[in-house]
């Protein structure tokens, strides 16, 4: 009986260790909405200041651009680079940007970043109209892959 408990304890410890080490070297960064102004010149594309949304924490930023054919999508600004991505769910993204969040704090991004500042994944949390939820997205090279989508529509 003691050996069975020892084996279960050993398996549980191995599981915990693997969970901890899988996240070593990475951190989570929360990006909140920021009204674009003249000080944000590095994010503003010509004639797009009224059709872009900026989420930032000072070090990292995501710019959503939704008015320029061919340039629409997400722009992720890291410490040393800028990467453009197509929408991860075009229909949802265009709906979300056209409707807007219920308040400036109702939508935010949470980025998973490795120790070198490379973005590994992100989650977009939202509360728009009567819908709330989250999209979890993995960043692989220059593409985005949805790994989880949860949307709850509240009764009116």
Q: Is residue 80 part of a domain?
A: yes
Q: Mark out the alpha helices in 1-156 (DSSP H runs).
A: 2-22, 90-99
Between 129 and 97, the more confident residue is: 129
Give the pLDDT confidence of 111-136 residue by residue, as tens digits. 999 988 888 999 999 999 999 999 99
The number of beta carbons lying within 10 Å of the beta carbon of residue 121 is 18
Q: Is residue 3 part of a domain?
A: no
Q: Which domain holds residue 57?
A: 25-153
**Helix (H, G, I), strand (E, B), or coil: what is residue 93?**
helix
105: its two tokens = 């704090």
Q: Is residue 100 part of a domain?
A: yes
Q: Is residue 38 part of a domain?
A: yes
Q: Is residue 96 part of a domain?
A: yes
Whichever domain contains 57, its CATH number is: 2.40.128
Tally of domains in the chain: 1
pTM over 0.85? The answer is no
Q: Is residue 20 part of a domain?
A: no
Q: Is residue 7 part of a domain?
A: no
Measured distance CA(69)–CA(3) in Å, rounded:
65
Q: What are the beta bridge partners of residue 22?
A: none
Task: State the pLDDT confidence band at 35, using cuts at 50, 70 and 90.
Answer: confident
**What is the pLDDT at residue 144?**
96
């Amino acid at each position: 009986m003691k050996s069975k408990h020892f084996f279960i304890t050993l398996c549980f410890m191995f599981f915990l260790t693997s969970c901890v080490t899988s996240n070593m070297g990475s951190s989570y960064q929360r990006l909140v909405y920021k009204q674009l102004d003249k000080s944000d010149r590095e994010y503003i594309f010509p004639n797009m200041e009224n059709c872009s949304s900026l989420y930032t924490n000072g070090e990292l930023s995501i710019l959503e651009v939704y008015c320029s054919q061919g340039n629409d999508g997400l722009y992720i600004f890291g410490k040393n680079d800028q990467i453009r991505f197509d929408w991860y769910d075009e229909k949802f993204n265009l709906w979300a940007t056209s409707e807007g969040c219920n308040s400036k704090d109702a939508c935010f991004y949470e980025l998973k970043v490795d120790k070198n500042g490379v973005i590994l994944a992100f989650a977009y949390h939202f509360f728009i109209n009567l819908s709330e939820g989250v999209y979890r997205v993995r960043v692989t090279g220059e593409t985005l892959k949805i790994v989880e989508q949860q949307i709850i529509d509240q009764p009116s």
